Amino acid sequence: MRQVDTSGRTVEEAVDRAASELGVDREDLDVEILDPGTRGMLGLGAREARVRVTLTGNPGALAHTVMARLLQEMGFPGAVRVHQQEDVISVQVSGENLGALIGRRGATLDALQLLVGLMVARQARVKTRVVVDVEGYRARRQLALEELARRTAERVARDGEVELEPMDPAERRIIHTTLADHPQVITFSRGEGAARHVVVAPKPSVSPAETGPSDE
């Protein structure tokens, strides 16, 4: 379990500082008061409060510990923040020169996400989904794919069917979802394994059986 010692004018301030440093909610911390501190008299003899906080064993705290440890072992200085909502744990990593953690089209990031998810599931023994992002890459990639989908739809409506480059299931799903209600085009996937890709085609009067994201 990861521990940190922090101080502040009050115990509350010290605990808040620890939660901010670790990037977790206060509910994810066990707190030991090392020194409650004192305000002194007229500002004289004041002593800061000191606390020792320990990340608890819930999945969000475990994800933070696992990600921080991996960064340390891989030699990448970075800050880790975790947000847990229902059965999804979002792990955000920020820092400088972290491109190697993302890799080509997010391949390294996906592998890192899989590893963290497996380690958290093994230790927490609960079913939960872990999403790892580095410097907001996933949000930027989603916006780029949505824009690609819209541009491709315009091209297809004008010139005919277009096959996009191979993508992983999550990225193909973004294309499908973005164009699901488009009045002029349909989408379906073609190919197997790493070569599977999205096809955007003009909408016929009767849609073919293999349209939409259901094949994902």
Tell me the C-alpha distance between 59 and 28, whole Å: 10
Q: How is 145-173 classified by DSSP, letter by letter? A: HHHHHHHHHHHHHHH--EEPPP--HHHHH
Tell me the C-alpha distance between 123 and 130, whole Å: 13
Architecture of domain 139-215 in this structure? 2-Layer Sandwich (3.30)
CB atoms within 10 A of CB 65: 21
Q: 3-state DSSP call for residue 41?
A: strand
- Report yes or no: 176 and 215 within 8 Å, Cβ to Cβ: no
- Report yes or no: 24 and 64 within 8 Å, Cβ to Cβ: yes
In one-letter notation, the amino acid at residue 143 is: L
Written as tens digits, the pLDDT of the chain (216 aa) is 567 899 998 999 999 998 887 777 777 788 999 999 887 676 677 889 999 998 777 888 889 989 998 998 999 989 999 988 878 999 999 999 899 999 988 999 999 999 999 988 887 777 889 999 999 999 999 999 999 999 999 999 999 999 999 999 999 999 999 999 999 999 999 999 989 999 999 998 644 444 455 455
139-215 has the same fold as 59-135: no
CATH 3.40.50.300 fits 59-135, yes or no: no
Domain range summary for the chain, segments of one domain joined by +: 3-55, 59-135, 139-215
